[in-house]
Amino acid sequence: MQVQNVEKPLYRGTFHCFQSIIKQESAFGLYKGIGSPMMGLTFINALVFGVQGNTLRALGKDTPLNQFLAGSAAGAIQCIICCPMELAKTRMQLQGTGEYKLKTKNYKNSLDCLIKIYRKEGLRGINRGMVSTFIRETPSFGFYFLTYDCMTRYLGCEAEDSYVIPKLLFSGGMSGIVSWLSTYPVDVIKSRLQADGVGGVTQYNGILDCVRKSYHEEGWRVFTRGLTSTLLRAFPVNAATFATVTVFLMYMRSEDNLRECEPGPVIQQPSSL
């Protein structure tokens, strides 16, 4: 949705895109590029929650500002994994668009994709879109952890609360939505830069050039391309992520040390990640 040609669009909207992929590429088409997230997300989440927790402890006080700063630090550092991972995912997803059986297969899998890009373009090639990824992830993760902290405090997530799991799920889901909304236009630009050059045609000379050309050709709506599908994904994914991390930390700690299930006190304690 983010990178399709505006003059010859393949998809009219999220649901039409979903239908078309299944019809043209089978249900397996919905999972193109899954190898890259499977390889990278474990490390990304470990890095994000570890850095956030240690940064929060280093800042001393559990305040909304410190939650934002700690989250931003975590978002910035994980870019070193996130950028190559999303580059491979983007290239794999664009490969053979609309084809049931690929006629030309440039990449066997995500790892092969990164290896071929490295051989052709070097380190700069596999880090294509790094600046836009950094601009997107740094404030996004700040809002991510800030929203979760505010939501859990507002909902009163106590360990003995019988509704603690639904509250954690709702808080995590809303955190994901807020974080994506905060920097989504940058994600569109990042996707276009990483997809640029596929098929041998290069359109953009950098972030500003991509912004200028995209706006000139499609107007402001270009910066919301694919937003619906992103938000539909963001809620369940982040609900599961935050709830799992919080419940796991609660389980690993003794009842004597456990008082609240909010991310600040949970993650900033010495025994945390």
Q: Is 206 left (phi over 0), alpha (psi -120 to 50) or beta?
A: left
- What's the confidence (pLDDT) of residue 263? 54
Query: Tokens for 79?
Result: 């870019």
- pTM over cut 0.95: no
Same domain, 27 and 139: no
Show the tokens assigned to 166.
Answer: 């639904």
Residue listed under structure tokens 């950028």:
83
Shared domain for 89 and 50, answered yes or no, is yes
Residue type, position 141, single letter: F
- The answer to whether 175 and 231 have CB atoms below 8 angstroms apart is no
Report yes or no: 2 and 226 within 8 Å, Cβ to Cβ.
yes
Q: Is residue 270 part of a domain?
A: no
Choose the weakest-confidence range: 90-104, 160-174, 195-209. Answer: 90-104
Instruction: Say which CATH number the domain at 81 has.
Output: 1.50.40.10
Query: Does any domain span residue 50?
Result: yes
Q: What is the mean pLDDT of residues 201-207?
A: 88
Per DSSP, the three-state class of 250 is helix
- pLDDT-derived band at 273 (thresholds 50, 70, 90) equals very low
Mapped onto helix, strand or coil, the DSSP state of residue 241 is helix
Parent domain of 19:
1-31
Lookup: tokens for 226: 């694919």
Q: Which of 46-55, 194-203, 205-214, 227-236 has the lowest mean pLDDT?
A: 194-203
Question: Residue 158 forms beta bridges with which residues?
Answer: 260
On whether residue 267 sits in a domain, the answer given is: no
Number of domains in the chain: 2
